[in-house]
Amino acid sequence: MSSYVLSLFLAVVACVIGGALGGMILARPQTMIGLAGLADEETPKSPLFAEGRAFGGMLIASHGIAALYLGYQPRLGAAMAMVLAIGWLGAAAARALSAAMDGAAGRFNAGSIVFNALIGITLSLPFFNVGRYVARGMGFA
């Protein structure tokens, strides 16, 4: 297996993880929002639940389409995965900045920084690893 095919495979796995996270948020927004420390104890049906479900649907759709194109149109899929990678890396940077400004990272936030960064790096791999698989049929060797 070439390193490019391996990077495509790992990016698809990262897309599955991102989509599964979206599914968890869509199915149980109160639990996931509670884990993030955003749950409103006063209001059992918080408006944040609708936002959580919308975010979950966005994660499912974006990661699902990126995984589809990584398999069937790798050049386009690599570009789509790179856009998702920038989003994940931006989330990691924002969490790190928030932890630095608040002075306390907390266990959940520190773990989320690492998780977001790893997903972002994994999704960016196909973009930087162009192999013969993509170049075939384009007049290249």
| 32 domain residue, yes or no | yes
Question: Residues 132, 75: contact at Cβ < 8 Å?
Answer: no
Is residue 141 situated within a structural domain?
no
Query: Quick check: is 97 in a domain?
Result: yes
In a domain, 133, yes or no: no
Asked if residue 108 belongs to a domain, the reply is yes
Distance between CA 14 and CA 84 in Å, rounded? 10
Asked if residue 138 is part of any domain, the answer here is no
Is residue 140 in a domain?
Answer: no
Q: How many CB atoms lie within 10 A of CB 29?
A: 21
Q: Is the pLDDT of residue 26 over 80?
A: yes
pLDDT digit string (tens) for 113-138? 999 999 999 999 999 886 555 444 44
**Could you list the residue range(s) of the whole structural domain that residue 41 is in?**
3-128
pLDDT value at 140 more than 60: no
Q: Is the pLDDT of residue 25 over 80?
A: yes
Q: 31-81: per-residue pLDDT in tens?
A: 776 666 666 656 566 677 777 788 889 999 999 999 999 999 988 999 999
SS3 content of the chain, % helix, strand, coil (to 5): 80, 0, 20
Burial class (CB in 10 A: 0-12, 13-18, 19+), 36: middle
pLDDT in tens, 68-114: 999 999 889 999 999 999 999 999 999 899 888 877 667 777 888 99
In whole angstroms, give the CA distance from residue 76 to residue 128: 13
As a whole number of angstroms, the distance between CA 5 and CA 12 comes to 11
Residue 69: the pLDDT is 94
- Does a structural domain hold residue 49? yes
- Residue written as token pair 């969490």: 95
Q: How many domains does the chain have?
A: 1
Task: Annotate 56-72 with b (16+ C-beta within 10 A) or e (fewer).
Answer: beebbebbeebbebbee
Q: How far does Cα 84 stand from its chain's mean position?
A: 6
Which residue reads 């897309």 in tokens? Answer: 15
